[in-house]
């Protein structure tokens, strides 16, 4: 059963996410198209949503904080997305316990046939994409609500219902 956190509770979230390892999905809203240059490759992403699947062997708390922080050293592909001023978090799903490429790929398979894959971004250690694009938040939520774990919904998502 999913645990949901809404509204003002978001500020207390970090005390609820332990420093244990786990799997996560972050859905970012892209408010205006973005043009990213990553390793000499250009990526143009329209307004909509980016779905990013990852895991944290050294703790969910620190990894999720990093993904939500702007103005950081750009280390991973997702940093180029999250550092953009037109991108903001909409949904975080997480589950403590299992982590690693195998479980990330299992989560990725839920999105694979339904959403546009953002090739060459998201996971360099897997053949499965770990980053997707959609302009349909309701379809994204349908998948996430079926998962066992915790869900955080940011207040700005309600602007689109």
Instruction: Please list, in sequence order, all residues whose beta carbon lies within 8 angstroms of the beta carbon of residue 12, skipping any fewer than 6 positions away.
Output: none
**Spatial CA neighbour of 18 closest among 104, 94, 103, 78:** 94
Question: Total structural domains in the chain?
Answer: 1
Q: Where are the beta strands (DSSP E) in the chain?
A: 3-5, 22-30, 34-38, 41-45, 48-56, 87-96, 116-117, 131-134, 150-153
Q: Which domain holds residue 115?
A: 3-160
- 91, β-bridge pairs: 27, 153
| pLDDT at residue number 133 | 94
pLDDT tens by residue, 44-88: 889 999 999 999 988 888 888 888 888 888 888 788 888 889 999
């Amino acid at each position: 059963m999913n645990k949901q956190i809404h509204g003002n509770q978001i500020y207390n979230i970090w005390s609820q996410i332990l420093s244990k390892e786990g799997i996560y999905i972050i859905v970012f809203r892209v408010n205006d198209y973005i043009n990213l240059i990553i390793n000499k490759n250009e990526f143009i992403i329209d307004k909509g949503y980016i779905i990013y699947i990852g895991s944290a062997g050294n703790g969910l708390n620190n990894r999720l904080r990093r993904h939500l922080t702007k103005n950081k050293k750009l280390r991973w592909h997702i940093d180029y997305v999250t550092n953009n001023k037109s991108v903001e978090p909409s949904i975080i799903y997480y589950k403590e316990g299992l982590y690693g490429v195998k479980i990330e790929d299992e989560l990725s398979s839920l999105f694979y046939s339904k959403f546009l894959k953002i090739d060459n971004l998201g996971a360099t250690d897997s053949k499965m994409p770990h980053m997707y694009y959609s302009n349909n938040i309701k379809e994204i939520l349908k998948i996430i609500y079926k998962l066992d774990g915790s869900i955080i919904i940011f207040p700005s998502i309600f602007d689109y219902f």
